[in-house]
Amino acid sequence: MPHPTPSPREIFASGPLTGHVAVPGDKSISHRALMFSALAVGESRVEGLLEGEDVLATAAALRAMGAQIERGADGIWRINGVGVGGLLQPQGALEMGNSGTSTRLLMGLVASHAITAAFTGDASLTKRPMGRVIEPLSRMGAEFTAYPGGRLPLILRGINPAVPIDYTLPVASAQVKSAVLLAGLNTPGITRVIEPIATRDHSERMLRGFGATVTVEDDAAGKIIAITGEAELRPQRIVVPGDPSSAAFLVVAATIVPGSDIVVENVGLNPTRAGIFTALRMMGADITELNPREVGGEPVADLRVRHAHLRAIEVPAELAPSMIDEYPILFVAAAFAEGRTVARGAHELRVKESDRIAAMAAALGACGVRTEEYEDGLCVQGNGGGAIAGGGTVRTHLDHRIAMSMAIAALNARASITLDDASPIATSYPVFFQSLDLLRGETLVPAA
């Protein structure tokens, strides 16, 4: 799963983007669809699963713990679960590749089973903090031997029965919230997570759909999410909506390339995920929602996006949790806006697949865009809408979103931009370049 051989890629400017494109399934929902199905007794079916490396790492780990998971020739995934409490001792280390979501959510699942699991990952994942899940899961009774600094590789000794806890999230993290709730699934009694700042709520929505008792109350302290343990999950048929985080790259592409007019189909618009579209609209982006509907219990629409003149904004810090993965592509949009865009209050960007503040400052800098780094954000000097200089080689640091963001920046650059390694894109959007090619048509027109 790690990419021992980097795969450099040079990206050239583009003429107007046109046509329709559908984005692949939502990564967060795909992980959860597999995990919850693996804990239901009977066969679940999942349509539209994201077949990216991160989700495949989750599938492999669940198989190693006893679930049967198969992809049919019809593209539908069939999962026969082991039941809550039924995970088996894996025989080898669980290889998590680049995927923080697989790691943290599976740690939650394993914590309340009497099994021992070793978790390992690639050079990016082994730098990321796991203390944020080790701490609450230890309180529930699980034991950990982690690499210094609370990092992978680590060994987790789960416990059954685990102890239910009330846990206030110290960081706005859906992964930490989900890890505790998933540990709570097989813990007698009620496990509560208090969430002072709302984060993506796919776990809560989907666990309810699978038949678990999950309540959510608003309180002065925030949202109180309670799960009743020793739950029984019923198998489901799930349709995974398209990933708004993947759609964001195409939306920004059409926004910054003059003459573009595209439709991005099947975009999940759960309000805990759609902050990027709010921010882009504040900047003047021309995004229209067509055919609003519900897919798999989530709001979905097709997005028509036309090229637009962007103005700099101060990105409201309250939007951070609902667009936490979209800052890199927002910084690209900001490079084409009139004025200085300032984004603060996004300290979490420092501990994603890469330090996304430093990585984007360096990447944009290499392509002629001026930025100023803050501890918790970035200021980007926009050029008012013309082509950026480009010409640089971008260090992507094993981070799919840095790679895709700079590939989009290249579409309106005077000189080509080279990614030092495009291979991480396969973690979340394996057909990214096919989607771009579809919108670019056949002709490659260098920007003026």
State the residues that interact with ligand S3P by CB under 6 A: 28, 101, 173-175, 178, 200, 324-325, 348
- 118 with 95: CB under 8 angstroms? no
Q: Yes or no: say if 298 and 291 are a contact pair by the CB < 8 Å rule.
A: no
CB-nearer residue toward ligand S3P: 343 or 413: 343
Phi and psi at residue 134, to the nearest 5°: -60, -40
- The amino acid sitting at 339 is G
* CB 178 to ligand S3P: min, Å: 6
Per the document, the length of the chain is 448
Q: Which is nearer to ligand S3P, 346 or 406 (CB)?
A: 346
Q: How far is the CB of 174 from ligand S3P (least distance, A)?
A: 4
Least CB distance to ligand S3P at residue 200 (A): 6
| Rounded Cα–Cα distance for residues 363 and 314 (Å) | 21
| Number of neighbouring beta carbons within 10 Å of residue 5 | 6
- Which residues are tagged catalytic? 325
CA distance 150 to 133: 9
Distance CA 320, CA 122 (A): 26
Residue 349 or 413: the one with the smaller Cβ distance to ligand S3P is: 349
Q: What's the closest the beta carbon of residue 385 comes to ligand S3P, in angstroms? A: 30
Half-sphere exposure of 355 (CA within 13 A, CB side): 12
- The amino acid present at 125, given as its one-letter code, is L
Minimum gap (Å) between residue 92 Cβ and ligand S3P: 25
Cβ distance to ligand S3P smaller for residue 273 or 307: 273
Residue with tokens 């902050």: 275
User: What is the DSSP pairing of strand 94-95 with strand 116-120?
Assistant: parallel
Residue 113 or residue 200: which is nearer to ligand S3P going by CB? Answer: 200
Which CB sits closer to ligand S3P, 17 or 33?
33
User: What is the C-alpha separation between 97 and 120, in angstroms, rounded?
Assistant: 7
Smallest separation, CB 398 to ligand S3P (Å): 14
Closest approach, Cβ 309 to ligand S3P, in A, equals 30
